[in-house]
């Protein structure tokens, strides 16, 4: 593959950011794969941030929303995934706070109900433990899980 010039890499990165929300670490990785050294990468990333192609706060909101809606992830799992992308804690928390609480609880309830339909447990205690573990594995908060599992049992 022919090595890209800095201008070509900038254009390609801007097009990438225009198509979908991207964070700095994702763009840095792409630039590296295109043969950009650290100095050029930093110049490109600085430009992309100044021109609002990259906005980490906006990325955290979009990522959190998508993972909740489409992957049925809870805040714990989303937070961990965002931390792995080296994003600022403040941006991560703002992205998580932007989630609609009613929709969040509805998704958790649907996750619990869907799992409950697949279980053939007759023992209430064992059933509850399996539902709790399943919801927790999706990254939902224990307090919320306990509350909604108790409601589902009634």
Is residue 44 within 8 A of residue 31, CB to CB? The reply is yes
pLDDT at 2: 65
| pLDDT tens per residue, range 89-145 | 999 999 999 999 999 999 999 999 999 999 998 888 899 999 999 999 999 999 999
**By CB neighbour count within 10 A (0-12 exposed, 13-18 middle, 19+ buried), where does 60 fall?**
buried
**By CB neighbour count within 10 A (0-12 exposed, 13-18 middle, 19+ buried), where does 140 fall?**
buried
pLDDT at 152: 55
| pLDDT tens per residue, range 14-57 | 999 999 999 999 999 999 999 999 999 999 999 999 999 999 99
Is residue 44 within 8 A of residue 36, CB to CB? The reply is yes
List the one residue out of 38, 40, 75, 82 whose CA is nearest residue 60. 82
CA-CA distance, 68 to 130, in Å (whole number)? 21
Which DSSP helix (H) or strand (E) runs through 73?
Answer: none
| pLDDT tens per residue, range 54-86 | 999 999 999 999 999 999 999 999 999 999 999
**pTM strictly above 0.75:** yes
């Amino acid at each position: 593959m022919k090595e890209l010039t800095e201008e070509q890499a900038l254009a390609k990165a801007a097009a990438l950011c225009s198509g979908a929300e991207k964070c700095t670490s994702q763009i840095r990785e792409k630039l590296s794969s295109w043969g950009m050294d650290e100095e050029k990468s930093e110049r490109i990333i600085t430009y992309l941030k100044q021109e609002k192609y990259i906005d980490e706060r906006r990325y955290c909101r979009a990522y959190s929303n998508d993972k909740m809606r489409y992957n049925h992830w809870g805040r714990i799992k989303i937070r961990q995934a965002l931390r792995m992308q080296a994003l600022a804690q403040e941006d991560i928390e703002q992205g998580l706070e932007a989630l609609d609480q009613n929709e969040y609880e509805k998704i958790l309830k649907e996750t619990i109900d869907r799992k409950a339909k697949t279980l053939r447990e007759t023992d209430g205690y064992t059933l509850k433990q399996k539902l709790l573990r399943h919801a927790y594995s999706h990254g939902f908060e224990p307090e919320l899980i306990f509350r909604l599992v108790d409601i589902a049992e009634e």
